[in-house]
């Protein structure tokens, strides 16, 4: 099984590099959508093949669906992607809180620090986004609550790769939200933000997947 895991992650990483290094700057196309979707979708399939947790497989599959939507332009695609990723975060919350290890970190210094940072981060992000959201205020508030819940749930595991992976996923969402709602089209941050968004997003989920699929999971 380890050989299948190693091979599957190599394939997924190659697809992620192809998208992040080249296709991310290309206009929407079937190839762009396919490669972006399979970068995470292949990890979902791998999780299913090796008997990974159902909620991990589901979270990765929902993320791949979100990628398929966001690889294309238009309001419907954006809303579809937002809904898919919202559900992916909820699936991750379920995955973390149903783990046998959940609760190991709830009374630790690590959890207190991470929880405090997450709460401050969520408040700061909402404060910064609020004037720019318009009709999207309610959906974005629910989305922020979902990623906050995921981060807190991950922190309760006290597992290094899961916590770091969840934080990377969250940071990618924060950068993406500023790209969508705050930064102007020709602003300096937007010239490099796609690299950070994609790199953090894919690597974060890959770390979570690896932690669950390639035991034993290492604690702090």
Q: What is the pLDDT of residues 62-100, one digit of tens each?
A: 999 999 999 988 889 999 999 999 999 999 999 999 988
**What does the pLDDT read at residue 62?**
98
- pLDDT above 70: residue 219: no
Domain boundaries, the chain: 2-213
CB 219 within 8 A of CB 158: yes
pLDDT per residue as tens digits for the range 34-70 = 999 999 999 999 999 999 999 999 999 999 999 999 9
Q: What are phi and psi of 146, to 5 degrees?
A: -65, -45
Helix (H) or strand (E) holding 207: helix 188-213
Q: Is the dihedral of CA 28, 33, 35, 37 positive or negative?
A: positive
- pLDDT above 80: residue 220: no
């Amino acid at each position: 099984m380890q050989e299948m895991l190693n091979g599957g992650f190599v394939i997924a990483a190659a697809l992620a590099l192809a998208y992040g290094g080249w296709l991310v700057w290309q206009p929407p196309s079937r190839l762009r959508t396919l490669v972006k979707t399979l970068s995470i979708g292949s990890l979902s399939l791998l999780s299913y093949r090796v008997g990974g947790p159902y909620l991990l497989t589901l979270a990765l599959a929902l993320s791949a669906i979100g990628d398929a939507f966001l690889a294309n332009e238009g309001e419907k695609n954006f809303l579809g992607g937002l809904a898919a990723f919202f559900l992916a975060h909820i699936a991750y919350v379920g995955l973390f809180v149903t783990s046998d290890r959940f609760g190991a970190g709830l009374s630790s210094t690590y959890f207190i620090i991470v929880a405090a940072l997450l709460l401050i981060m969520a408040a700061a992000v909402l404060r910064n986004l609020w004037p720019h959201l318009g009709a999207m205020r309610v959906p974005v508030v629910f989305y922020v609550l979902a990623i906050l819940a995921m981060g807190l749930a991950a922190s309760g595991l006290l597992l290094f790769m899961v916590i770091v992976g969840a934080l990377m996923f969250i940071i990618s969402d924060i950068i993406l939200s500023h790209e969508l709602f705050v930064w102007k089209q020709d602003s300096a941050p937007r010239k490099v933000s796609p690299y950070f968004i994609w790199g953090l997003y894919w690597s974060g989920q890959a770390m979570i997947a690896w932690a669950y699929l390639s035991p034993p999971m290492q604690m702090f």
